A and B are shown apart, each in its own frame.
Chain A
Amino acid sequence: MTWAIEVYLRPELYDPEKERVRETAAELHIATPAVTRYCRLYILEGAAGEETVAHVARVLLTDPVAEQFELYRLDGTRKKEASGDVAYVLFHPGVMDTVAQTCEAALSILDIEPHRVRTGRVYYFAEPVPASAREAVAYRVLANPAIEKVYWDRIDVSVFRAAPEYRFELVHVPLRAMDDEELMRVSREGLLSLTMEEMRALRDHYHALGRDPTDVELETFAQTWSEHCSHKTLKGPVHYVERNGRGQTVREINFRSLLKETIFAATETVRRLRGDHDICVRVFTDNAGIIRFTPEYHCCFKVETHNHPSAIEPYGGASTGLGGVIRDIMGCGLGAKPIAGTDVFCVGPLDYPPEQLPEGVLHPRRVLKGVVAGVRDYGNRMGIPTVSGAVLSEPEYLANPLVYCGCIGLMPAGAENKAPRSGDCIVVVGGRTGRDGIHGATFSSAALHDESAEVSGGAVQIGNPITQKRMLDALLLALEERLYTCITDCGAGGLSSAIGEMAADLGAEVWLERVPLKYSGLSYREIWISESQERMVIAIPEANWPKFHAICQQHGVEATVIGRFCGTGRLRLYYNNHQVADIDLRFLHKGCPVRTRRAEFRLAEPKELAPDGIEQYAQDQGKLAELLDRVLSDYNVCSKEWIIRQYDHEVQGATTVKPLVGVRQDGPSDAAVLFPILTPGRGLAVSCAINPRYGRLDPYWMAACAVDEAVRNCVAVGGDPNHIALLDNFCWGNTERPEQLGTLVRAALGCRDAAEAFLAPFISGKDSLHNEYRGKLNGQEIHLTVPPSLLISAVAVVPELNRCTTMDLKKPGHILVLVGETRVELGGSAFAAALGWHGGQVPRVDFQMAPRIMQAISEAIGRGYVAACHDVSEGGVLAAVAEMAVAGRLGAELWVPDNPFSDGADLTRAASAISWLFSETPSRFVLELAPEHLDSLAALLPRPELLQVVGRVVPPPRLLVQASSQGPILLEADVEQLREQWQRPMRW
């Protein structure tokens, strides 16, 4: 029998889901009748009679005080009782349904025989939904077609039929007989994303072997050689040509490996120069970068991207993105305990007109709400505080949103070494394997198009954080006893990548029929490449298996031996004793044909320093006030409190400097600081920096500025600039196009030079290179490419608690000091964006002076001179001081210096003043000090002119901007009003 139970809130109680529907429909301009009742739907299939099902509904599914339920037989002919329409939302078959899994487990607690449970949602509308609006209401307001189906008025029970059993049949792909065209057809239609050269190399390889590959062999090559898994572009040779504005070649570089000669090389240089004070333990080799932290614990950090899945299903994409990077930490070395998460989202214009969305593209608001919810639900449930992040909204992200998720972990010193041994069992731990996420790795290595959602529906995954939390708890116990020799996560490419990598120097045989499945019907090929979440692979000596298995059982974690490592140098796969693959591991890992890619960059002509008419803002207080309003309410600048509060950023009881600080805990901290319970007395500062607006002008300076800002943010909260590590994440367009690769080379050079200047090593990185969209907008072909989007994340040690410093103004009578030199650098600034002006000089880093400024600030903080410290970034000095005043609920006077610029720019006095207020020259800090510390601070700086007294803290909560301390008033604004301007845009 099949029963349906609809559970709903008592009508007099407030129902947030009804409100969400109303709000979403309004945002998307979709006319829809009100939802009069929203129900959670549970479908039970099994032997139970009505009485038993009613019992289940009462004791398990319904809250006796707040909810009511309705129970009925689901035979497909249920009549509508409502006067309006009813929409039933159910998952597509095979999509992860975590609530159903929990229900099935709960039935056993109630001693009820096993039933198949499905869950869904039901919406009763006040009136009929017009047929013309049904599609939009269903799939843009209520459900996501990538994972769910909406049934109007009745559920089609025929979809519940069990999947057919799988019948083994070995499939060969007749590669040897194929011409180029057929090779490419196989690659394309099989979603393999292999290039012509690669297909030819495979054909030649199998020609030499005298046989055709099996389907699963071909898949293994496609996964391993995918951009996503191998990073062949950045690790491969690149011929780079740089031209000046007139087209003359000014620089040419032949990289044998772009990454090795830029970012890795910088790390090598830094390690050498730091000598005994080198902080790196393992870099660029493991799932995450590992640095020294305390004598007992190392710190590891990794940031991943999950862009394509998030474009199609924001919630699932972001949650599995975070879940994946958490597994990177769990599988780094022999395993680490995740202690913090980070996230950065790049989305299209949040006020984009919904009618003008290109086909197949979700509205940016929907994307942002979905990805925030995804990170929230995964991070909160795993108990990992999400403490640092950013949101950027730019037009080019409309069809290609970017989602970066990071995780930091603590690893017992010594656990960084791992290697499987011949004879070790291959064990898969955690979640079961289903069809989810098949072809995720190859999918992310191709551009999006307007049918991506349909073609790649299988690439969408939903996570189950509790499965992963249980696995984490069990693995940390097993780690304490050192029960296993190697561990890695199942990410993109699933078992094929995880086992392929672990076995690279050894060999392995795998018995695919032993892999625990979510449901029957999977072929050996699907088992091997499935990207089902929450799985890890470990190598475990046979003698330790019983103990390991016992720990897993105690935590309710499934662990299964599915193969053995052996010194054959071959990867052999079996299904019920049939050999289905026999791959030479050396060819798998070294055989991918290397191709030199072309990269070109054209330097921009110098532009005017400041826009025409800039003087008006110095002459009219109202105009300057309005300009400041636009800067503070820029989506890239404004308060992200709506997001931050949805994250449990304080779980684990370690968040010492929180992402929001100040009197009312609503000021933007430059970085978060954690003092983990495991490492008393020693903390970690975590920050990030990303600015695609600079990237449009010059990716070299974008990269250098991002490194500077990430370091600056850590230093501002008390981090030690001598103990700081960096991560790079490149999200670019299609780098097969020389001009795209050119901007990337430029950015990599910027990373190299900045890392060497700051003596801050890069320890890990990742790239995502096909963030382009081809589709239609109003019938016209369009092509969107993301701007150069380099995220730099940083982690720094905070050697003692008392160094923790926040950015909120503390005390009237204190003075405000600007440290660092200011140049007229308005290119790509928030000021430029507010005016819609495309000129200006992109901010540049002074590599000699910047590291010395960081050292001086760190020293000043260590000596206790600094009451508040805020980095100067988007919006310049004016935005920085405004934020400090808001956070401290105190007033400030800000005095524009008489000679504000180090470069003696040729501007009028009025133009100078405004440029100084908004310039985004990096390596600058606004400090609040007691006046008696001024001289001591000055003595720490390499040059006296690096310090300017620019204002003071005053009791009335007003911001007063003056041309010099006695000069005319340029702006007067209430702090309350500034707060409103800064908070308003994302008070959702």
Chain B
Amino acid sequence: MRVLVLKAPGTNCDLETADAFARLACTPDVVPIAELTAFPKRVHDYDIFVIPGGFSYGDDIAAGKVLALQLKHTLLDELLAFHDRGKFILGICNGFQALLKTGLLPGPSSSADAAPRVTLSYNDSGRFEDRWVRLRFDPAQNPLASALQAESLESLECPVAHAEGKVTVSSEADLHSLQDGRRLIIRYAHPDDPEFDAARSVLPYPHNPNGSHGNIAGFSDPSGRILGLMPHPERAARNYLHPLWPRCRAQELRFHAGLAFLKAVVAVAQGRFS
């Protein structure tokens, strides 16, 4: 599996993202955006296209905005073709912001309606925050959901680190249309109460760290092969990065679940789930 890790000016999670994929037996390349826009077809040398976290173009104007504009103007056709060939597009944090602003997410609606109107806006806390959260995945009918199931990954703990990560929809109808059963919906979850239904109830701060509507942390397009999420699975790819590791390192705990999550992405890109 070849993984293209896109590096724009201000991208800063490229190395740990590449490192995580390398540990999944993939071959990651960190590619500067100038190189790619000069040769857009190069994207087809790869199986997974990742926009990692960071502050592309300083997040000036709005987070991911200028990177999205650049992608839209130079790479959109190739990226759509890339996706049509069954390949995977992943945006983490700033990458999610950029994917939303290119329109690659939320992607076409499954019904005849227009695509749901959704964006990422400023955290309710009013500031950048780095903290660990628990995530859960809604059941969905798409390859990514199946791959996660095959990994028996129902939940995931990893950090968020952003100022503009509040999933914001225009209306209840948009929220409803987003949760169409085909998209994978990743929600912030209650760390202590596994029964807590984040799809229906308001999850308090800081478990929902930014005030996202529907407690949504990330979602895929209906194909399950374009995925964006605010939290950072690549920062939970090693046991010792988990904050509770010093408390129970002797035990067999799945503190590196971020790696299992990315493994599911790789499995989908390999076409093992469809």
List A residues at the B interface (Cβ < 8 Å).
9, 13-16, 19-20, 59-61, 63-66, 98-99, 101-103, 105-106, 109-110, 376, 380-383, 464-466, 469-470, 473, 554-556, 645-653, 655-658, 661-663, 665, 675, 677, 801-802, 804-806, 808, 810
Are B127 and A661 in contact, CB atoms less than 8 angstroms apart?
A: no
Given A466-B57, A556-B34, A653-B237, answer yes or no on A64-B119 (Cβ-Cβ < 8 Å).
Answer: yes
Are A65 and B10 touching (Cβ within 8 A)? no
In the complex, A249→B119 CA distance in Å?
Answer: 73
- A718 to B, closest residue via Cβ: B246
Nearest-neighbor residue (CB-CB) of A809 within chain B: B247
Q: Which of B66-74, B144-152, B197-205 contacts A (4 or more CB under 8 A)?
A: B66-74
A801 to B238, CA, bound (A): 12
- B132 near A647 with CB under 8 A, answer no
- Which among B57, B161, B237, B241 is the interface contact of A102 at CB below 8 angstroms? B57
> Is B155 close to A, CB under 8 A?
no
The listed residue (A15, A64, A470, A657) touching B246 by CB distance below 8 A is A657
CB-based contact B161/A555 at 8 Å:
no
Q: List 9 A-B contacts (CB under 8 A).
A: A60-B69, A66-B119, A102-B61, A105-B57, A651-B53, A652-B12, A653-B237, A665-B131, A806-B247
Tell me the bound Cα distance from A901 to B203 in angstroms.
Answer: 51
- Give chain B residues whose Cβ lies under 8 Å from the Cβ of A808: 246-247
Interface string of B7-30 (1 = CB under 8 A from A): 101101101100110000000000
Which residues on B sit within 8 Å (CB–CB) of A801?
Answer: 240
Contact residue among A15, A464, A647 (Cβ-Cβ distance under 8 Å from B58): A464
Closest to B174 in A: A65
B47 adjacent to chain A (CB < 8 Å): no
Residue interface mask B55-66, A partner, CB < 8 A = 1? 101111110011
Are B60 and A648 neighbours in the complex by a CB distance under 8 Å? no
B61 lies within 8 A of A61 (CB):
yes
Known contacts A16-B126, A381-B55: A651-B13 contact under CB 8 Å: yes
Residues of A within 8 A of B16 (CB): 651-653, 677
Task: Find chain A residues with CB under 8 A from B19 CB.
Answer: 653, 677
* B129 CB-CB contact with A under 8 Å: yes
In the complex, the answer to whether B69 meets A110 with C-beta atoms within 8 Å is yes
What residue of chain B has the Cβ atom nearest to residue A372's Cβ?
B127
* Contact among A13, A648, A656 for B168, CB-based, below 8 A: A13
**In the complex, per-residue mask of B213-241: 1 if CB is within 8 Å of any chain A CB, else 0:** 00000000000000000001011011011
Our pick among A98, A99, A110, A382 for the contact of B12 (Cβ within 8 Å) is A382
Residues of B within 8 A of A109 (CB): 66, 69-70, 73
Asked if B246 contacts A555 (CB within 8 A), the reply is: no
Chain B contacts for A20, CB-based, 8 A: 126
User: If the complex has contacts A99-B61, A103-B61, are A555 and B73 also in contact, measured as CB distance less than 8 A?
Assistant: no
Determine whether the beta carbon of A19 is less than 8 Å from that of B12: no
B35 touches A554 (CB 8 A): yes
Which one of A20, A102, A555 has the highest number of Cβ atoms from chain B below 10 Å of its Cβ? A102
Is the Cβ of A466 less than 8 Å from the Cβ of B58? Answer: yes
Q: Which residue of A lies closest to B236 (CB)?
A: A653
Contact B124 A14 (CB under 8 A): yes
Are B241 and A655 in contact, with the CB atoms below 8 A?
yes
Complex alpha-carbon distance, A377 and B128, angstroms: 9
Cross-chain contact of A646 among B9, B73, B129, B168 (Cβ < 8 A): B129
B69 touches A106 (CB 8 A): yes
Which residues of the partner chain A approach B237 to less than 8 Å between Cβ atoms? 653
Contact call B130/A383, Cβ cutoff below 8 A: no
Contact of B243 among A59, A645, A665 (CB under 8 A): A665
Cβ distance A261 to chain B, nearest Cβ, rounded Å: 43
Q: Judge whether B119 and A65 touch: CB under 8 Å.
A: yes
Residues of A within 8 A of B66 (CB): 60, 102, 105-106, 109
Instruction: Decide: B9 and A469 in contact? CB cutoff 8 A.
Output: yes
Interface residues of B in 131-171 (CB under 8 A from A): 131-132, 159, 161, 168-170
A99 and B161 contacting across the interface, CB-CB below 8 Å: no
Given contacts A110-B69, A110-B73, A466-B9, contact A661 B243 (CB under 8 A): yes
B177 at the interface (CB under 8 A from A): no
CB-CB under 8 A from A465, the residues of chain B are: 10, 55, 58
Check A665 against B132 for contact (C-beta < 8 Å): yes
Q: Which has the most chain B C-beta neighbours within 10 Å: A98, A470, A648?
A: A648
Instruction: Indicate which residue in A103, A380, A650 contacts B55 across the interface (CB closer than 8 Å).
Output: A380
CB-CB under 8 A from A661, the residues of chain B are 243, 246
- Give chain B's interface residue range (CB within 8 Å of chain A): 35 or more
Q: Which A-chain residue is minimally distant from B38 (CB atoms)?
A: A554
B117 interfacial contact with A, CB 8 Å: yes
How many A-B Cβ pairs are below 8 Å? 164
Q: Which residues of A contact B238 (CB under 8 A)?
A: 653
B9 touches A13 (CB 8 A): no
Within the complex, the shortest CB–CB distance from B34 to chain A, in Å, comes to 5
The 5 closest A-B CB pairs, nearest first, are A383-B12, A16-B126, A653-B16, A102-B60, A65-B119
| In the complex, B122 has a CB within 8 A of chain A | yes
Q: Report B63 CB to chain A, min CB distance, Å.
A: 10
Contact flag A63-B119 (CB < 8 Å), given A466-B55, A645-B130, A801-B240: yes
Please, which residues of chain B bring their CB within 8 A of the CB of A665?
A: 131-132, 243
Contact between B121 and A66, CB atoms less than 8 A apart: yes
Q: Are A376 and B128 in contact (CB under 8 A)?
A: yes
Q: Does B54 contact A (CB under 8 A)?
A: yes
Distance in Å: Cβ of B57 to nearest Cβ of chain A: 5
Partner of B60, one of A99, A651, A658, A663: A99
Chain B minimum-CB-distance residue to A373: B127
In the bound complex, how far is the Cα of B15 from the Cα of A694, in angstroms? 43
Q: Does B118 contact A (CB under 8 A)?
A: yes
Tell me if B272 is interfacial: C-beta within 8 Å of chain A.
no
B129 touches A60 (CB 8 A): no
Check B247 against A648 for contact (C-beta < 8 Å): no
In the assembled complex, how far is the CB of residue A198 from the closest CB belonging to chain B, in whole angstroms?
41
CB-based contact A805/B246 at 8 Å:
yes
Q: Which of B58, B123, B243 contacts A381 (CB 8 A)?
A: B58
Residue B42 interfacial (CB < 8 Å): no
Name B12's closest neighbour in chain A (CB-CB).
A383
- Say yes or no for B32: interface residue by CB 8 A criterion: yes
- In the complex, what residues of B have CB within 8 A of residue A806's CB? 246-247
| Partner pick for A675 among B9, B124, B240, CB 8 A cutoff | B240
Residues of B within 8 A of A655 (CB): 241
Asked whether B170 lies within 8 Å of A102 as measured between CB atoms, the reply is no
Contact yes or no, B168 A650, CB < 8 A: no
* Chain B residues within an 8 Å CB radius of A110: 69, 73
Distance from B246 Cβ to chain A, minimum over Cβ atoms (Å):
4
Residue among A101, A470, A650 making CB contact with B161, cutoff 8 Å: A650
Residues from chain B with Cβ under 8 Å of A556 in the complex: 9, 34
CB proximity of B62 to chain A, nearest CB, Å: 6
Q: Does B41 contact A (CB under 8 A)?
A: no
Task: Find out whether the CB atom of A647 lies under 8 angstroms from the CB atom of B34.
Answer: no
Taking the closest CB of chain A, its distance from the CB of B50, in whole angstroms, is 14
User: Counting CB contacts under 8 A, is B176 at the interface?
Assistant: no
In the bound complex, CA of A381 to CA of B132 (Å): 20
Q: Shortest beta-carbon distance, A760 to chain B, in Å?
A: 25
For the complex formed, measure the closest distance between the CB of A587 and the CB atoms of chain B, giving whole angstroms.
43
How many whole Å from B184's CB to the nearest CB in chain A?
Answer: 21
Q: B161 and A65: CB pair below 8 A?
A: no
- A805: chain B residues at CB < 8 Å are 246
Does the CB pair A648–B130 fall under 8 Å? yes
Q: Could you tell me if A98 and B58 are in contact, using CB atoms closer than 8 angstroms?
A: yes
Give the distance in Å from the alpha carbon of A758 to the alpha carbon of B121 in the complex. 51
Contacting A at CB under 8 A, from B99-128, are 101, 117-119, 121-128
Whether A59 contacts B69 in the complex (CB less than 8 A), given A650-B130, A653-B241, comes out as: yes
Distance between A512 CB and nearest chain B CB, rounded to angstroms: 28
Contact B61 A106 (CB under 8 A): yes
New A-B pairs, 10, CB < 8 Å, besides A473-B7, A651-B53: A60-B69, A65-B117, A66-B168, A105-B66, A109-B69, A650-B130, A650-B232, A652-B16, A653-B13, A804-B246
For B59, the closest partner residue in chain A by CB is A381
| Inter-chain contact B241/A656, CB cutoff 8 Å | yes
Q: A653-B16, A675-B240, A801-B240 are in contact. Are A102 and B58 (CB under 8 A)?
A: yes
